Amino acid sequence: MSEKPKLHYPNGRGRMETVRWVLAAAGVEFDEEFLETKEQLQKLQDGKHLLFQQVPMVEIDGMKLVQTRSILHYIADKYHLFGKDLKERTLIDMYVEGTLDLLELIIMHPFLKPDDQQKEVVNMAQKAIIRYFPVFEKVLREHGQRFLVGSQMSLADVILLQTILALEEKIPNILSSFPHLQEYTVKMSNIPTIKKFLEPGSKKKPPPDEIYVRTVYNIFMP
């Protein structure tokens, strides 16, 4: 039996949360080693475990993978979440790249100055409603399928759901003008592996708080 993937990152969402989401959606159990101090990061760097001296880092199949998108691609391909052919993979990749642009705003939000955080919520809402959500609403409306690409769940679905739910924490009515996305979100949330991940006690991380922000600064700031 192969070892579980091991995730190296602080105990919070950040860029590792998407990796957690994708592993959970695939039904893959994983372990975590939380970074809490600058010394832990330095030890990984000194041991040449981080190709570019950065986390996230995931130990899987005898490799130490870094760079979030590369990690996501490997997991998606390994667990059949990356389409059935080149055309599907390209569509999935386009949707993922767009969604990650929006998700990055959410990831960086807790690190903004307090005066800028509310302004950024307005900015996130505008970008979601004007630029991103209309694309996915149109896709779902026109092809009438359960998933964004093809006939099965893909990396694009998992990351879109993660992003929608993270936005709803800040803007509960963000989907009010998107009926197909509303239906899609309910159906995706009830897929057994995802439903389990959304339940209390899972390895899904809560919204970032002051303790997480302070920990990140202590680890990564010079």
pLDDT digits (tens, 9 = 90+) for 66-122: 899 999 999 999 999 999 999 999 999 999 999 999 999 999 999 999 889 999 999
Lowest mean pLDDT among 4-8, 39-43, 161-165, 201-205: 39-43
Beta strands in 14-115 (DSSP E): 31-34, 57-60, 63-66
Number of DSSP helices (H) and strands (E) in the chain, helices first: 10, 4
20 pLDDT exceeds 80? yes
Tell me the CA distances in angstroms from 63 to 59, 71, 74, 105, one per residue in order: 6, 11, 11, 30
1 pLDDT exceeds 60? no
CB 75 within 8 A of CB 19: yes
**DSSP assignments along 144-194, one per residue:** --SSSSTTS--HHHHHHHHHHHHHHHH-TTTTTT-HHHHHHHHHHHTSHHH
Taken in order 13, 92, 135, 144, the sign of the CA dihedral is: negative
CB 171 within 8 A of CB 125: yes
135 pLDDT exceeds 80? yes
What pTM does this model have?
A: 0.94
Give the model confidence (pLDDT) of 27-77 as tens digits.
Answer: 999 999 999 998 888 888 877 777 777 889 999 999 999 899 999 999 999
Residue 51's SS3 state is coil
* Residues facing residue 78 across a β-bridge: none
Average pLDDT over residues 160-168: 98
List the structure tokens of 181: 């996305």
Q: How far apart are CA 160 and CA 109, in angstroms?
A: 18
* pLDDT of res. 2: 66
* pLDDT of res. 73: 96
Mean pLDDT of the chain: 93
- Name the DSSP letter for residue 11: S
* Residues facing residue 6 across a β-bridge: 31, 59
List the structure tokens of 187: 């159906």
Max Cα–Cα distance, the chain, nearest Å = 52
Residue 149's SS3 state is coil
- Name the DSSP letter for residue 203: S
Residue for token pair 């998933």: 147
* pLDDT of res. 109: 95
